[in-house]
């Protein structure tokens, strides 16, 4: 869909709004896992650094909206008609970010398991099986993301660039 080719009032809101917060998903999951397994976890200034990439992307979205819609009154940054959410660099970097934070989370969980087995006799009750299940499902979500994104660049699915992600989101929701 070409930028400006749709005259619905919500088009620009959706077009300029980042709907895939790929740089926030990994750190937030990692913080959540750590906060569940470590009762003394406190969100500190150091943790804000993990959210910097996502924050910069939000700022970038505001800059391109202000430039295109308020200053220039035309599509400049998004003149190619492609939503920034579907840009290859963003999808690739977001996938790497989520993968990195998955490995950080699984490492933290395994360290927690090892510690609990050494410290208490009722470790089975403290092993947070639901966290384990979620962390084992997360690579499935990443794999689905990779498959759907790679598929969007094949000739068969090229025309599904905007409709195709629905299936990815649906699959993501089922696994989640």
Residue 32: predicted pLDDT: 92
Please check whether residue 2 lies inside any domain of the structure.
no
Rounded Cα distance between 81 and 87, Å, is: 11
Q: Which domain holds residue 130?
A: 11-175
pLDDT tens, residue by residue, 13-61 = 777 888 889 999 999 999 999 999 998 999 999 999 999 999 999 999 8
Decide if 6 is inside a domain: no
Task: Domain count for the chain, please give it.
Answer: 1
Rounded Cα distance between 153 and 12, Å, is 24
Residue 113 has pLDDT above 90, yes or no: no
Does 35 map to a domain? yes
In a domain, 53, yes or no: yes
Instruction: Look at residue 2 in the predicted model and tell me its pLDDT.
Output: 46
Q: Say if pTM beats, i.e. exceeds, 0.85.
A: no
Residue 3 is assigned to a structural domain of this protein? no
17 assigned to some structural domain: yes
Residue 102's Cβ-count burial label (10 Å; 0-12, 13-18, 19+) is: buried
How many angstroms separate the CA atoms of 59 and 146, rounded?
Answer: 26
């Amino acid at each position: 869909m070409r930028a400006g080719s749709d005259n619905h009032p919500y088009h620009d809101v959706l077009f300029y709004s980042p709907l895939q917060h790929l740089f926030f998903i990994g750190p937030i999951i990692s913080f959540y896992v750590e906060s569940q397994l470590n009762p003394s976890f406190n969100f500190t200034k150091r943790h804000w650094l993990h959210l910097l990439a996502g924050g910069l992307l939000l700022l970038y979205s505001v800059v391109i909206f202000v430039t295109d819609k308020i200053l220039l009154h035309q599509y400049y940054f998004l003149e190619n008609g492609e939503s920034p959410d579907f840009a290859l660099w963003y999808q690739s970097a977001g996938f790497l970010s989520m993968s990195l934070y998955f490995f950080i989370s699984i490492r933290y969980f395994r360290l927690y398991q090892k510690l609990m087995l050494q410290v208490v006799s009722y470790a089975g009750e403290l092993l947070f099986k639901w966290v384990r299940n979620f962390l084992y499902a997360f690579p499935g979500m990443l794999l689905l993301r990779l498959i759907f994104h790679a598929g969007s660049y094949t000739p068969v699915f090229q025309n599904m660039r905007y409709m195709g992600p629905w299936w990815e989101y649906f699959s993501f929701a089922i696994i989640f």
